């Protein structure tokens, strides 16, 4: 038996919970990760022993490239520090992304991957499932053990470490953690493959951060993409796009770990008392400006071309 460094820490208690103000376990015995409920030294040692490799995939399509720098720079400070990390940037602007020269820590690499683009922002969101499925099958599965998929209009402001990793993990959406099933914005039309009846559902999960082993992420993204394509044939689009399909998947294939809203916060929600850390936080954006409207420069370019 290999005997590494001695590790000293307080004995875990059987009768005294580390926190009593939040729920730390689902009825299917998946932990819900909150600050103060785990010892990161134990977890780091366990994951390092196995030499875990972690992928972080995010999309930077069209104007969303503007979020890239802050995302990567803050990830270098807070995301899986001390572990092997591959960033995968899926973009339609490979050349532009190549211009950034990110200084990465040891054991960390960044890859720019070509992604198609779509006219409608809704389609960009929907197609994330297909792109992740294909790249997982063709590449990620050979390069990393776990894959996390994140929105890019975000920044890290505190640690997101191996405590968050599991076979399949989802994040409780910051807008819905204390609401009833009926208030969840699940897809409610029975024609859609994302349909969830009013008496089902556990949590409302955010599409802005989820992950798992590459095998599990393949299954999840394949299921969601197939649902999206079936809906398309019937000319129906789920209310919250790929997030609706993700929520459907998680009802039947329950996540083995849940991340509390510490792992996806939006400061517009204020800072409630139970929230001890804000680890991954939305960067405010002008939705219309960033998703739809062309910039003045682009308009000028377009009208110039039209004249020629």
Catalytic residue numbers, as ranges: 243
**What's 36's DSSP letter?**
T
CB of 163 to ligand UDP, least distance (A): 24
Applying CB under 6 A, the residues found at the interface with ligand UDP are 58-62, 64, 121, 124-125, 151-153, 208, 291
* Min dist. Cβ of residue 98 to ligand UDP (A): 17
When asked if residue 151 is in the footprint of Mn ion (CB under 5 A), the reply is: yes
Query: Do 181 and 200 meet the contact criterion of CB atoms below 8 Å apart?
Result: yes
Residue nearest to Mn ion (CB): 151
Closer Cβ to ligand UDP, 64 or 156, answer by number = 64
DSSP element (H, E) containing 142: helix 141-143
Specify which residues 146 forms β-bridges with: 54, 213
List % helix, strand, coil for the chain (3-state, nearest 5): 35, 20, 45
Tell me which DSSP letter residue 22 carries. S
Determine if residue 141 is labeled as part of a ligand binding site: no
What is the CB neighbour count within 10 angstroms for residue 279?
23
Is 92 annotated in some ligand binding site? no
The entry of Mn ion, ligand UDP, none that residue 135 binds, CB within 5 to 8 Å by partner kind: none
Q: Which stretch binds Mn ion (CB under 5 A): 60-68, 81-89, 131-139, 147-155?
A: 147-155
Q: Is 152 annotated as a binding residue?
A: yes
Q: Which does 90 bind (CB under 5 to 8 A by kind): Mn ion, ligand UDP, none?
A: none
Residue 153 CB, shortest distance to ligand UDP, in Å, is 4
C-alpha distance from residue 79 to each of 84, 140, 143, 297 (Å): 10, 18, 18, 35
Nearer to ligand UDP, 46 or 117 (CB): 117
Residue 168: left (phi > 0), alpha (psi -120 to 50), or beta?
Answer: beta
Establish whether 2 is an annotated binding residue. no
Which positions lie near Mn ion, rule CB under 5 A?
151, 153
């Amino acid at each position: 038996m290999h005997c590494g460094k001695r590790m000293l820490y307080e004995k875990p208690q059987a009768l005294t919970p580390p926190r009593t103000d939040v729920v730390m376990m689902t009825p299917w015995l998946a932990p819900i990760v909150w600050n103060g409920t785990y010892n990161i030294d134990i977890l780091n040692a366990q994951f390092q022993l196995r030499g875990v490799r972690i992928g972080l995939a995010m999309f930077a399509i069209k104007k969303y490239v503007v979020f890239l720098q802050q995302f990567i720079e803050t990830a270098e400070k807070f995301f899986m520090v001390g572990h092997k990390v591959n960033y995968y940037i899926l973009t339609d602007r490979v050349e532009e992304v190549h211009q950034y020269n990110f200084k990465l820590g040891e054991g960390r690499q960044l890859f720019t991957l070509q992604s198609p683009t779509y006219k409608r922002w809704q389609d960009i969101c929907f197609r994330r499932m297909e792109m992740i499925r294909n790249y997982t099958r063709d590449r990620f599965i050979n390069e990393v053990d776990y894959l996390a998929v994140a929105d890019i209009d975000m920044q890290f402001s505190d640690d997101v470490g191996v405590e968050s990793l599991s076979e399949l993990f989802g994040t409780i959406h910051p807008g819905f953690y204390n609401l009833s099933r009926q208030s969840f914005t699940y897809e409610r039309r029975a024609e859609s493959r994302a349909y969830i009846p009013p008496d089902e559902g556990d949590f409302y999960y955010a599409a802005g951060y989820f992950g798992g082993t590459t095998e599990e992420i393949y299954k999840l993204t394949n299921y969601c993409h197939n649902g999206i394509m079936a809906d398309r044939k019937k000319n129906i689009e789920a209310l919250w796009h790929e997030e609706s399909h993700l929520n459907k998947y998680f009802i039947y294939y329950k996540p083995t770990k849940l991340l509390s809203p510490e792992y996806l916060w939006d400061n517009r929600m204020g800072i409630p008392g139970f929230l001890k850390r804000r680890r991954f936080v939305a960067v405010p954006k002008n939705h219309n400006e960033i998703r739809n409207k062309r910039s003045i420069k682009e308009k000028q370019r377009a009208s110039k071309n039209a004249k020629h």
